[in-house]
Structure 1
């Protein structure tokens, strides 16, 4: 199952990258990070939808918070990306939170959410802009 999820995430990323490239906006700063953020959101939703029948049969009402935490985290990234405020910080916090959630629930369904956490982590790294070099004034 994890190989299928990884394949779907790769296809989603390549699709988003192709669409961005075809629109001629590849040179816009932050496009790769934005594509990765939306790939992470799509992967989180896809994993949650795939796990919902199994978790609801196994865990019952506990599946609401087992799947709800990663879904809320992905929604926070989407809102930050759409508003353009604190995108790098929010993406970093969500990547760490989802990785921790995935590791805490590592033997159960949480392990599948480590993959979107990695995607969010890479998106956070691409969102960081280097600071300008300062030259001493003479």
Structure 2
């Protein structure tokens, strides 16, 4: 399990490094952030689906909220991205919620949700635009 998480973090790091390197070459600004947001959504759904049998056998009806909290956060990011409203705020809040939820469930299989939280956080960081110089700052 630790080797899988380390490998996933390494793959994530290499992917982000490649995306940041290509950032200036893509025609539409914000494309990298959008790709990372949808990658985080897909990772959250994939992890929830993978954990469904184990969690339902172990926790029974509590599975709904154990896996539901990260899924609701991912759905909120998807809705914000599709509507174009408050994307940065929703992505940041979703990253924090999924990270905290993954750490709360850290003794069980819920620790896997930390990876999508990192993806959401990196998506938000790559979407930040540097502020331009104003006349008063020169």
TM-score (norm 1): 0.81
Which residue is equivalent to 1:63?
Answer: 63
Which residue is equivalent to 1:101?
Answer: 101
Which residue is equivalent to 2:77?
Answer: 77
Partners of 1:115 and 1:92 in 2: how far apart? 14
Partners of 2:37 and 2:29 in 1: how far apart? 14
2:8 to 6, 13, 19: 6
Unaligned runs of 5+ in 1: none
Which residue is equivalent to 1:131?
Answer: 131
Q: Which has the higher helix share?
A: 2
Which residue is equivalent to 2:52?
Answer: 52
Q: Quote how far apart the aligned CAs of 1:54 are.
A: 0.6
Which residue is equivalent to 1:31?
Answer: 31
Q: Quote how far apart the aligned CAs of 1:109 are.
A: 2.4
Unaligned runs of 5+ in 2: none
Partners of 2:129 and 2:113 in 1: how far apart? 27
Q: Larger RCO: Structure 1 or Structure 2 (Cα < 8 Å, ≥ 6 residues apart)?
A: 2
Partners of 2:87 and 2:127 in 1: how far apart? 8
TM-score (norm 2): 0.81
Partners of 1:110 and 1:134 in 2: how far apart? 46
Partners of 1:73 and 1:118 in 2: how far apart? 13
Which residue is equivalent to 1:92?
Answer: 92
Q: Quote how far apart the aligned CAs of 1:26 are.
A: 2.4
Aligned residues: 126
Cα RMSD for the two superposed structures: 2.5
Partners of 2:59 and 2:104 in 1: how far apart? 16
Question: After superposition, what is the alpha-carbon deviation per residue over 1:38-87, rounded to whole angstroms, capped at 9, x for unaligned?
Answer: 00000000000000011111100001100000000000000011011111
